[in-house]
């Protein structure tokens, strides 16, 4: 069923439920003359709850379809797992660098891998900490930082003196 048809059918069903809720509440002939007020109120509440439930189901369907689309665009499978691992490793490395990591080269390597993550917030944070740890002002591009690291890894001695990442 196309999304437009689904939305129209859902709206028609919800409007029908609201119509029946009003009919049960205000039309004496709806349930017969001998029907108690408690029965009427119960049917009204059932109709209203069903209408609300259908709306929530529709919202959940929308959120799940957005989530599936985001996962598909992330590449799925091992690429998504690798990106998630890089993000987790970068998040774990950032506080270590602030505390004066014993191996600042490992922190730089993890942060460079995090630049390849699909999440822009992760890339931004990794870039900020790479600039702080290295003193370099390269753009937040994984390939540029990877090339710089290959050329400068052996000479890297840690964060520049006087920066928050350097305890010395």
Q: What angle do CA 100, 102, 106 make, to 5 degrees?
A: 100
| The predicted structure's pLDDT at residue 46 | 93
Q: Cβ distance 93 to 107 under 8 Å?
A: yes
Q: Cβ distance 107 to 133 under 8 Å?
A: yes
| The predicted structure's pLDDT at residue 77 | 54
Q: What residues does each domain of the chain span?
A: 3-73, 77-152
What sign has the CA pseudo-torsion 151, 154, 155, 158? positive
| The predicted structure's pLDDT at residue 94 | 45
Tell which phi-psi region holds residue 70, choosing left (phi > 0), alpha (psi between -120 and 50) or beta. alpha
SS (H, E, C) 94-154: HHHHHCCCCCHHHHHHHHHHHCCCCCHHHHHHHHHHHHHHHCCCCCCCHHHHHHHHHHHCC
| The predicted structure's pLDDT at residue 58 | 82
Q: Which helix (H) or strand (E) holds 156?
A: none
| The predicted structure's pLDDT at residue 164 | 54
What global pTM score does this model have?
0.40
* Phi, psi for residue 136 in degrees, rounded to 5: -95, 150
- The low-confidence residues of the chain, meaning pLDDT below 50, are 92-101, 165-168
| The predicted structure's pLDDT at residue 7 | 82
Percent helix, strand, coil in the chain, to 5, is 70, 0, 30
């Amino acid at each position: 069923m196309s999304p437009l048809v689904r939305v129209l059918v859902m709206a028609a069903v919800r409007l029908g439920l609201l119509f029946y809720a009003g009919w049960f509440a205000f039309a004496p002939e709806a349930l017969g003359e001998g029907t108690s007020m408690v029965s009427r109120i119960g049917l009204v509440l059932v109709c209203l709850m069903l209408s609300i439930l259908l709306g929530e189901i529709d919202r959940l369907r929308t959120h799940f379809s957005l989530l599936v689309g985001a996962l598909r665009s992330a590449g799925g499978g091992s690429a998504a797992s690798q990106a998630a691992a890089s993000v987790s490793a970068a998040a774990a490395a950032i506080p270590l660098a602030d505390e004066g990591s014993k191996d600042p080269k490992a922190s730089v390597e993890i942060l460079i891998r995090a630049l390849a993550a699909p999440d822009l917030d992760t890339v931004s944070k990794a870039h900020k900490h790479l600039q702080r740890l290295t003193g370099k002002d390269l753009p937040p591009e994984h390939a540029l930082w990877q090339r710089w690291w290959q050329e400068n890894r052996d000479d890297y001695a840690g964060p520049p003196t006087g920066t928050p990442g350097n305890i010395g």
